[in-house]
């Protein structure tokens, strides 16, 4: 059933670009907490799905009231971001602080311990959905969100190629989120401290900055950015279950590794490329399983051949471009 | 014969004798109510010990270990439905499935481990998750191409619950004995050195890469074997179910709760998980993760050495008995 028709490829390319933008945004929070702070956050996917499902549930529940607009996919970015700050504090003090909440170098053993602890935290979030559904009766574990944007809600690119306008909105907002995180981490003083704590926490303490506080802030920022993307994710896929995590999280890990650990723009670019590959394969073969097979095969190949990632140096180059040649070395 | 006096050997003997007695009683029509539970616990212990070789002995967490159980089940499906497509069930069919499942899993683990185990840290964990998805979607695609919407249901083999029980028992015995020998041998000592400090182990002359690769391959071989009794018992090959990350989660939880670095840990962890499963999971289903999740976080934060490790630290006199 392979179709190489121009429409199929064209549609695959455009949707892939937009979906890839979303995938990039889904992964930048992970590259911050894992790549920069060395915490392998296995709860990342659960955080995204939590935001997505809360949004869809509350939007449906309060439909017709004014509060519902707090939970539309655009305003929801802010709502869920704020909520993410709270969850970030909980995540830090339950799962990360007991292990690396000291002024110390993070060793491999700590890395594995945080991996297990965040894994437990993620499982808790996973169970939370079912617990809420059982206890309240009004919470759905399979919420759907039907939210359209613009009139007509799609763009006609050709006789057989239509793409929903909301997908363009999602792609654009995803790019903005990724750029925002890049600006926070690479262009502010806080960002400098975040990078410093990963390199040498003791040296940071010597110049009078509390590394533990920076670790807390990093966790909060990473969680905020994970949960802020949840609304965009549900707007794209339009329905989610707690098990959606098992699609989101592996993709995010693939993209972070492909982009180069810790490189925010590199991760975003890797997301765009993977989105393109995925959508073009889906569009051409009409088969989701083969597209996912190809995606994860790419991960294994990158891990085998270039584990340092493809675009690790992108952030530095862009920073020196912005700051001009004078300031960079 | 120092081996026979070791506590681990006694543990194995007790386990095998108990499950043997249950099996013989089942054969004569008694104890049929507990046969299912006995099979479940054997499988959970088997899974936990299979993962333990790489996770608990060597300290490398494989998050996608269910891939080998699934691959084993896939190979079993191939034997039952394609290779021996019309023959009635014979023990040869089971042995053939078992060998093919073990060989395929070991081969896959060797190939992937060969490239990924050179990397430290989380890369290995991530790679095994990726591997799980690669094989899952490959299986789904192959089934679809053959015109089958998963799951693939087996033809009727006229097997009884007693037959399933002995299948489980055989694989259980192999797993327990191999996992124990891997722990107490020179090989196990090398793995323990890697777990505690890989650089130091390397300096002391442990060929770390070879040890890790062998551990991963052995661990995959045992996990792969478990695919065969599982597929025979459920009489189907269900990729979404067998490759599910939930199965990997179960193995990891059992090892973490029981205690890393010991032989007894995964066994005790399995019983605890199974008890929790019966009291929680059957009643409140997935909401039970609200209990299991914090349990893992608490264990990692408070007693990272798990239940057995905690007992060993708390009661030094028991140290000899808890291997």
Nearest residue to A147 (alpha-carbon basis) of A25, A63, A45, A243: A63
The pLDDT of residue B1 is 53
The CA distance from B236 to B139, in Å, is 13
Closest Cα of chain B to A154: distance in Å? 31
For residue A117, give the H/E element and its range. Answer: helix A108-136
In a mutagenesis test of the A interface, which of B59, B111, B133, B197 is the best target, namely the one with the most A β-carbons within 10 Å?
A: B133
Closest Cα of chain A to B112: distance in Å? 8
Q: What are phi and psi of B250, to 5 degrees?
A: -55, -45
What are the structural domain ranges in chain B? Answer: 2-247
Closest Cα of chain B to A180: distance in Å? 27
The pLDDT of residue A1 is 59
The pLDDT averaged over each successive group of 10 residues in chain B (323 residues) is: 74 92 86 85 94 90 90 94 84 93 96 85 81 91 87 87 93 95 91 88 89 95 96 92 85 85 90 82 71 84 82 80 72
CA-angle at A58, arms to A55 and A62, nearest 5° = 140
Cross-chain residue pair A289–B141, CB shorter than 8 Å:
yes
Q: What are phi and psi of A309, to 5 degrees?
A: 90, 170
Residue with tokens 């323990």: B192
- Among B residues 248-277, those touching chain A with beta carbons less than 8 Å apart: 249, 252, 256
Q: Which residues have CB under 8 Å from A302's CB, separation 6+?
A: A254, A257, A258, A309, A310
Q: Assign residue B147 a region (left: φ > 0; alpha: ψ between -120 and 50; beta: otherwise).
A: left
The residue in chain B having the minimum alpha-carbon distance to the alpha carbon of residue A98 is B301
Nearest residue to A130 (alpha-carbon basis) of A241, A52, A245: A241
The domains found in chain A, sorted by start residue, are 6-323 (1.10.3470)
Q: Assign residue B151 a region (left: φ > 0; alpha: ψ between -120 and 50; beta: otherwise).
A: beta
- Among B residues 30-89, those touching chain A with beta carbons less than 8 Å apart: 59, 61, 63
pLDDT tens, A56-104? 999 988 888 888 888 888 899 999 999 999 999 999 999 988 888 877 6
In a mutagenesis test of the B interface, which of A49, A116, A134, A295 is the best target, namely the one with the most B β-carbons within 10 Å?
A: A116
The pLDDT of residue A329 is 44
Tokens of A140: 């759905």
pLDDT per residue, tens digit, chain A (329 aa), is 566 777 778 888 898 999 999 999 999 999 999 887 888 888 999 999 999 999 999 998 888 888 888 888 889 999 999 999 999 999 999 998 888 887 766 676 777 788 888 988 998 999 899 989 888 888 888 888 877 777 778 887 776 678 888 899 999 999 999 999 999 998 899 988 888 887 788 888 888 888 889 999 999 999 999 999 999 999 999 889 988 888 888 889 889 988 888 889 999 999 999 999 999 898 888 888 888 899 888 888 888 888 888 887 888 888 888 887 655 44
- Among B residues 152-211, those touching chain A with beta carbons less than 8 Å apart: 198
Beta bridge partners of A164: A154
Please report how the helices B161-184 and B186-196 are oriented relative to each other, as an axis angle in degrees rounded to 10: 70
A99–chain B Cβ distance below 8 A for any pair: yes
Closest Cα of chain A to B317: distance in Å? 28
A vs B, Cβ pairs < 8 A, gives 141
The residue in chain B having the minimum alpha-carbon distance to the alpha carbon of residue A97 is B301
Cross-chain residue pair B123–A257, CB shorter than 8 Å:
yes
The pLDDT of residue A328 is 46
What is each CA distance from B322 to A88, B7, B196, B261, B265, in whole angstroms?
39, 7, 19, 11, 9
Q: Which residues have CB under 8 Å from B153's CB, separation 6+?
A: B235, B236
What number is the ipTM of this complex? 0.80
- Among A residues 227-286, those touching chain B with beta carbons less than 8 Å apart: 242, 246, 250, 253-254, 257
């Amino acid at each position: 059933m392979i179709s190489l028709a121009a429409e199929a490829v064209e549609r695959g390319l455009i949707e892939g670009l937009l979906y890839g933008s979303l995938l990039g945004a889904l992964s930048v929070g992970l590259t911050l907490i894992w790549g920069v702070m060395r915490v392998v956050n296995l709860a990342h996917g659960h955080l995204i799905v939590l935001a997505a499902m809360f949004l869809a549930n509350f939007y449906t529940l309060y439909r017709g009231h004014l509060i519902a607009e707090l939970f539309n996919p655009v305003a929801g970015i802010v709502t869920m971001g704020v909520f993410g700050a709270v969850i970030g504090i909980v995540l830090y003090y339950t799962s990360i602080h007991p292990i690396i909440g000291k002024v110390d170098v993070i060793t491999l053993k700590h890395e594995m311990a945080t991996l297990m602890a965040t894994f437990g935290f993620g499982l808790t979030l996973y169970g939370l959905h079912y617990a809420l559904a059982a206890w309240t009766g009004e919470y759905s574990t399979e919420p759907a969100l039907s939210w359209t944007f613009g009139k007509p809600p799609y763009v006609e690119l050709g006789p057989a190629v239509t793409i929903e306008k909301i997908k363009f909105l999602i792609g654009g907002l995803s790019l903005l989120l990724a750029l925002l995180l890049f600006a926070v981490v690479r262009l502010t003083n806080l960002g400098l401290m975040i990078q410093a704590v990963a390199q040498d926490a003791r040296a940071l303490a010597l110049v009078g900055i509390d590394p533990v506080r920076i670790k807390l802030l990093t966790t909060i920022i990473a969680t905020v950015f994970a949960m802020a993307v949840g609304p965009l994710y549900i707007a794209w896929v339009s329905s989610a279950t707690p098990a959606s995590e098992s699609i989101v999280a592996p993709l995010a890990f693939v993209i972070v590794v492909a982009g180069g650990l810790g490189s925010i723009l590199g991760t975003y670019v890797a997301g765009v490329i993977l989105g393109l590959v995925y959508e073009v394969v889906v569009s051409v073969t009409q088969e989701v399983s083969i597209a996912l097979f190809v995606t994860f095969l790419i991960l294994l190949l990158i891990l085998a051949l270039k584990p340092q990632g493809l675009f690790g140096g992108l952030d530095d180059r862009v920073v020196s471009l912005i700051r001009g040649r004078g300031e960079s070395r | 014969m120092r081996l026979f006096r070791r506590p681990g050997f006694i543990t194995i003997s007790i386990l095998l004798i108990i499950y043997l007695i249950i099996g013989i009683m089942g054969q004569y029509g008694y104890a049929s109510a507990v046969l299912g539970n006995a099979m479940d616990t054997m499988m959970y212990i088997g899974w936990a010990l299979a993962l333990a070789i790489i996770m608990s002995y060597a300290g490398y967490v494989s998050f996608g270990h269910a891939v080998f159980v699934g691959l084993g089940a896939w190979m079993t499906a191939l034997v039952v439905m394609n290779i021996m497509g019309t023959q009635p069930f014979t023990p040869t069919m089971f042995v053939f499935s078992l060998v093919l499942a073990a060989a395929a899993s070991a081969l896959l683990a060797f190939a992937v481990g060969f490239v990924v185990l050179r990397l430290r840290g989380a890369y290995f964990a991530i790679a095994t998750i990726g591997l799980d998805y690669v094989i899952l979607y490959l299986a789904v695609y192959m089934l679809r191409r053959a015109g089958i919407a998963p799951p693939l249901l087996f033809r009727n083999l006229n097997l009884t619950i007693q037959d399933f029980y002995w299948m489980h028992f055989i694989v259980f015995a192999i797993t327990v004995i191999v996992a124990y020998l891997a722990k107490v041998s020179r090989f196990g000592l090398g793995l323990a050195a890697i777990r505690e400090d890989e650089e130091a182990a390397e300096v002391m002359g442990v060929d770390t890469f070879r040890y890790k690769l062998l551990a991963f391959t052995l661990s995959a071989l045992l996990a792969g074997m478990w695919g065969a009794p599982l597929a025979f018992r459920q009489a189907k090959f269900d990729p979404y179910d067998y490759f599910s990350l939930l199965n990997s989660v179960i193995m990891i939880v059992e090892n973490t709760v029981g205690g890393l670095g010991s032989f007894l840990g995964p066994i005790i962890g399995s019983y605890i998980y199974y008890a929790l499963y019966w009291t929680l999971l059957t009643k409140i289903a997935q909401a039970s993760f609200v209990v299991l999740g914090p349990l893992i976080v608490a264990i990692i934060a408070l007693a990272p050495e798990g239940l057995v490790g905690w007992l060993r630290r708390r009661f030094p006199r028991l140290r000899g008995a808890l291997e």
